[in-house]
Structure 1
């Protein structure tokens, strides 16, 4: 439909069209909430250029009843003045709230036609709006309510404090905001700041990042008086630390602070970490890969943490050549943040809300000075890691932080050896030793002296004596005995300083790394093959070659969280900690050039949710989201067989009566979707397995509210070994359309490691069958069901291969041991014969993986290992448990059994460091 310029119809149609074109270019602070729409600073200026400004002017000058359309200024002059004075945000605000024509004419007459020095920069005060719009209350209210959308603030990366009027807080460029932590102070939010609204000052000039910035916002929300006090005290600590001429990478620095003028809101902006140390140990709690390399790297990270504490105690020099000593007073894993910076992991000390400082003129410094505990000292401090003197009349000193540091290192060593469950057991044993009173590292019983909790020495002894690897055992003894003799002492004056702990940890890391042999071949030399023969290590009979590629990722580079191939290897999907899905197609062959970039389709960004798990087939993808209830997205790939699969069709699935999803999977042909669902914390609902047909999810089963009818889902309580706790399940997958598998760790006393199978009935009306499980005392590294068979190949402790037959009522399993020079991380079985491929890491080489073929001979106690290819990989820490392996093998002719094609290759995807080869193809020949 068209309209003649200058008519009322033209105004109605074109004005609405301007709004409809402007709105999609705006962002939302909250998903599906138009009231949170805002524009980045470039939107209004770029949208309202010559053509759209002329269309706007013609809307204003259109005639109607009692309106001749006359204006005080011509069209060309109007366009020139708006562009010259940068009045586009004003125009955009009028269009956004659908200002009446009377208000548009007032804008032209009282703003554009007036001299340039009259106030026109948004946001405008009430009196100025009265002048412009002749005290029209409706227009003034609408303009005042919406003008913040087009005058979004820019934040700067420095320690300045920004004080805003209460109404101006809506101008903050926050989008996709979600809570990520809570404490006695309030809440920590993850926020995304769009491009152009987060600047870095360098030499007086402001520069902007190439993409959006993810930051953390610490909001102080206790009572108004206390929130202001907490905010100002922590901000003062950060300013003092920032003022030092000497900086330390292991101490977190803030970007800035924001306060409302009324004192109703207080926030600190700071870098967003991937995890705090508590979350890090919990997240990687099932990666029980014990190696000297792993221990050495974590001792190096811990040395950085100790370096940060030493800097707070001794390294801060503020203006005037004064030394400043900062006592943190609340060191614990939750206040140690884990970052990926410049292709490496770094731990940083954070949260200075309870810290205290002292200055010493001229750099003079006494020893072991104390700070008398104030009434707020332990306000938010976690008692577990506090030093014994926190309960006495003695003051807190730098040595109080040393005690807390020693406690963290002790827990870290338990985690390295025993994983997440070991840390829980360590906590439980200390609590029982303290008669259930607390899990502190010291015991204070009535009528007796304070002493270290006896469980410390017992656990340390158990860790050392229970380790079979001499290098790891020596490293444990070197650091744990030092903690007992020099750190975890009741007399604070006898404890060493943090700098000494740093040196001890560095020595531990250096000694451990001496065993690790660094490869000498070139990183790009992915054709490097080294087949070595031994009693159980043979050479591969066919020729092989390796090619590797980097993955193209958005800027700024996100941290990879997981990856998955479709069963046929055609689709590879990575997902990131910034909630992006990156798709790559392997159809036909990958690019010929090795070491190059794999092209990526436009990434999908799920906001503001956090991706918890994915499942991929050739034509479909399911994406589980972190939410309060059952939510996931089903994606149908369009043009999936080309090099650019697209997310053209998406279906959002939700059941608000069902708890949130823990794990998700989709069957190889996309017929079934399965979810492990968390139970209610109150215990009213157990953890469950939910199963539905894909076609039912996208069909008429959806009710009028968009909710999914729960009747389409069949569900079954999790097996008994889980204690109805979904967190006990660590992986979920389909092997075929008729078999679901999952693995996990029982939270019960014996901590069994379990593989469970659930056979599916072919009919849709039958109830789900019973679970079939096999239990192990040692950690399960990986497993692979055999095709068209009840057997499953399971790797335990990285080097023991067990063949278990689920078709037998009692299968003892057949155990075979791989040469201990290798740790196996992933296996896959052939569809057509008994062969097994595995991805392994040599124990003596860092940054190298091997594709090997395993030959399991039941009559021998060891597994034959034929090395097919070796290649260098710079993988992320703790990521090898998430490596993906697909075997694209020749399909035999059903009659002659001869291969239909000669294609025989393996695809490997790892969570690599940025800009490093992440996807590999091993051509194994015939």
Structure 2
């Protein structure tokens, strides 16, 4: 009877604990969070437990059997913190005799702590197998306990301290989620979510009350790391990692470390938004559009130089000994970006040095033996280098930045890399940043291609050319050429800005890019030069923003439709013909813009804010100025808006950084006449990062390109939700198995996931365009490739019919043009509106290709069809113009294009007749007629913009809508009527 009551009690407690386990469906990963056993085994439950251990005849009490009554025994469990130990007994289904032994030896016994004959403390987890045998007097009981204890021996990460796990099988790691972020030569980086209560700060004596997202970098430990000889050096490394972040905001903070067994070492860090490379090349490809935005990025670079100077000269041990730390691997991917509050209350980007303590760090200190250096990377095993994803890049030895930023002395036969080597790398980063400030990500790629194209580069991308037996090593000549190019472009925009750029870049050439490292200036000097450059930019930007102009006018909103219900107005003197332009009322760091398919809405977004322009944006007074009718500020920490899709009914936005999430804004919900951003839903689907978002014109289908869970270099996936309303229902449903909920019999199972997921042949970052051609037709374009077999450039284009469940793909070859660079190869494309399987593509702004995808690939239900070249394609050279954007007319007989004449940077709206027949090589332009419709005054070739061909009510008028990323005193939104009568304006 007693055993029956005990067994029933254990079954009940087992069920309650099991429901509260994290990752319980994965036996090797399941774990109990801190306090779980205490919440289940509360005071009343403990009283019941002790009573089940008594004889069933009721002749004895707990005091008779154990010397203490049940209340005193329960108090002892709390006092000695034995809840987890007892939970393991119950979870391992130990017999009642084992439970009685536990009570008598660990709870009722007055002596505490209880020590084994080997001198180890019994009762603390994880327990030793031999001690358990001694405690229970049974090998079976000890083994059952030992095999279950890991679930309740969950590791607690301690801020700025090292935690060691001797036996990996005896403890569980407190990760609710793990997301690979990247890998390097020595370690892999993951985003991990720590369970509540498992991040402890000894300084404040607090623990995380909610799950905490942090970054974890894993290393493989070398033999030298494990030797006693390395202990002193490891202590110094700990001092660097724990002290640097407290005194320099540009050094990545250490959240502690974890050594697991004899093979793995993990370092925990704050979770960044992204690294500088990803920010420039993926998340913010457009160049900053205003002087103040460029000034803020230069200020971030100044902070980076300050952090590097701190590593070189600003650190001391607790014994007041100087430490010099050489980074030795400074590059954009090792510079992490965070959002932190500025002095004026705003949020600005902070750049932090990372990887300085692991992969390429050396230290120097004064001691009895004089100066001594230690290379920390000897502690860790170098991992195999990541495979190059794109086959076209297999011959490029350091295409992705490995070695690009290293100084000339890095390849010398006798290395003498010191702080000056870091300064060279810093100069390289600054040079690339200024290319980005002027030309965006395309400028970074073109600059890289120019360095690699040099005859003496030998396939390596470096900022120097290696010497030969007869020639010395020298600074790469493309550096000075590109600096001159950047200075000229800045001077064309503003003489004062040109002077600031010239002084900064020429300083790099004269003081940093010195092959003789001993002639280079220090990081402090570079910091001061960047600070002076920032101040010049700041003063120039403030002067520009303070000038009287259209952007400073106050607005009074109207309640009419934005683009169709417009009152008659004569064109302003600065706009000719049938063009109307508007200024935005505020100047922000806009990184992207979108237009709804019907042309009724325009959305702009920064890293943290979405601005929606609707009928509420219209100005009632004089002047062509629009203000946002609605705005939404991203509140999630350390993440930024990545991609946005827009229709008249929904706005879908994805984030990147610390949180990969998707937000759906229902623009028409509520009593308001105009669209707004008040009603939104967050999809906590725990997907990998979303790279591209598109919505069908009828607002029903959502499509996304998702990054692979195993890393950026792996093939991505195509996510398609056929019904956005169903997706919203999925987002609104409660979690299916909360840790504190009971799954009751008869409960409805969770609905099936309202989407499909198909694997692609390319990484998500390789998909540059995702577009709906109609409500059921989806196109995406893959980043151009330079094939290993030839110098021809290949552009994969894929068309997916959602209704027919077929897929067609084609490769566009760019022939007869410069093949030295893939940057800027693909320019634009547009699908035909009557025949969704045909599209028009422009390459290098000068060549038009018309492709019928159905004749080039067999039907397939999977987006992994190997594309082939379409022999029936139409190709035409575009003479006298550079085409930047394409739009197809409703009847597929003409295209509208945004472009420039060959000799000008001013943007024009062009009408292009669609060629219908192929012609042989050498034939004339034939039926491809081009007509200038109107100039877009104030819009330049170098500006970033999006376009939309839309129709008025009842198709009474066709017009082109353009939204651009420009400064405050320039028109940002244009409307060009291409049919109809008088020009209509706000």
TM-score, normalised to structure 1, is 0.71
| Alignment match, 1:130 | 133
Q: Deviations over 1:112-151 (max 9, x none)?
A: 56558354343222134325554243x5444323322223
| Alignment match, 2:278 | 279
Q: Structure 1 residues 835, 667: CA separation in 2 closer, same or farther (over 3 Å shift)?
A: closer
| Alignment match, 2:32 | 39
Q: Deviations over 1:383-407 (max 9, x none)?
A: 4333334416584443332222222
| Alignment match, 2:639 | 559
| Alignment match, 1:27 | 22
Aligned 1:220-299 pairs, distance under 5 A: 220-221=219-220, 223-225=222-224, 236-237=236-237, 239-240=239-240, 242-243=242-243, 247-260=247-260, 262-284=261-283, 286-288=285-287, 291-299=290-298
CA drift at 1:481: 1.4
CA distance in 2, matches of 1:304, 1:296: 13
Aligned 1:395-544 pairs, distance under 5 A: 395-431=416-452, 432-436=454-458, 438-443=460-465, 444-465=467-488, 468-471=492-495, 472-516=497-541, 517-518=544-545, 534-536=573-575
CA drift at 1:198: 1.9
| Alignment match, 1:800 | 907
- 2:309 aligned with 1:310: yes
Q: Which moved more, 1:667-676 or 1:277-286?
A: 667-676
Can you give the 5+ residue segments of structure 1 that lack an aligned partner in the other structure? 64-68, 697-711, 869-926
| Alignment match, 1:172 | 173
| Alignment match, 1:834 | 958
| Alignment match, 1:588 | 669
Are the equivalent residues in 1 in contact too, given 2:770–2:780 (CA < 8 A)? Answer: yes
Q: Deviations over 1:842-890 (max 9, x none)?
A: 5246xxx987451346999xx9895x6xxxxxxxxxxxxxxxxxxxxxx
CA drift at 1:38: 1.7
CA distance in 2, matches of 1:90, 1:439: 59
CA distance in 2, matches of 1:50, 1:731: 69
Q: Structure 1 residues 93, 573: CA separation in 2 closer, same or farther (over 3 Å shift)?
A: farther
Q: Structure 1 residues 427, 679: CA separation in 2 closer, same or farther (over 3 Å shift)?
A: closer
| Alignment match, 1:146 | 148
Q: Deviations over 1:224-280 (max 9, x none)?
A: 4368799985773452464469822122232222224x5322222222333333333
Task: Give me the CA root mean square deviation.
Answer: 5.6
CA distance in 2, matches of 1:42, 1:775: 71
CA distance in 1, matches of 2:479, 2:783: 34
| Alignment match, 1:717 | 810
CA distance in 2, matches of 1:329, 1:665: 39
The alignment partner of 2:254 has SS state of coil
| Alignment match, 2:743 | none
The alignment partner of 1:458 has SS state of helix
Are the equivalent residues in 1 in contact too, given 2:360–2:377 (CA < 8 A)? Answer: no
Are the equivalent residues in 1 in contact too, given 2:326–2:361 (CA < 8 A)? Answer: yes
Q: 2:123 aligns with which of 114, 120, 123?
A: 120
CA distance in 1, matches of 2:910, 2:718: 35
CA distance in 2, matches of 1:461, 1:640: 52
CA distance in 2, matches of 1:60, 1:533: 93
| Alignment match, 1:891 | none
Are the equivalent residues in 1 in contact too, given 2:273–2:640 (CA < 8 A)? Answer: no
CA drift at 1:221: 1.6
Aligned 1:812-851 pairs, distance under 5 A: 812=930, 814=932, 816-820=934-938, 825-832=945-952, 833-844=957-968
Are the equivalent residues in 1 in contact too, given 2:777–2:836 (CA < 8 A)? Answer: no
TM-score, normalised to structure 2, is 0.67
- 2:187 aligned with 1:186: yes
Are the equivalent residues in 2 in contact too, given 1:838–1:853 (CA < 8 A)? Answer: yes
| Alignment match, 2:351 | 347
| Alignment match, 1:898 | none
CA drift at 1:199: 3.3
The alignment partner of 2:324 has SS state of strand
CA distance in 1, matches of 2:646, 2:19: 33
Q: Which moved more, 1:443-452 or 1:778-787?
A: 778-787
Are the equivalent residues in 1 in contact too, given 2:447–2:482 (CA < 8 A)? Answer: yes
Are the equivalent residues in 2 in contact too, given 1:191–1:214 (CA < 8 A)? Answer: yes
CA distance in 2, matches of 1:154, 1:112: 25
CA distance in 2, matches of 1:189, 1:195: 18
CA distance in 2, matches of 1:731, 1:224: 54
| Alignment match, 2:586 | none
Q: 1:156 aligns with which of 146, 155, 158?
A: 158
Q: Structure 1 residues 513, 645: CA separation in 2 closer, same or farther (over 3 Å shift)?
A: same
CA distance in 2, matches of 1:808, 1:238: 68
CA drift at 1:436: 0.9
Aligned 1:700-849 pairs, distance under 5 A: 713-721=806-814, 739=836, 795=898, 800-803=907-910, 807-809=914-916, 810=928, 812=930, 814=932, 816-820=934-938, 825-832=945-952, 833-844=957-968
| Alignment match, 1:611 | 690
CA distance in 2, matches of 1:42, 1:778: 70
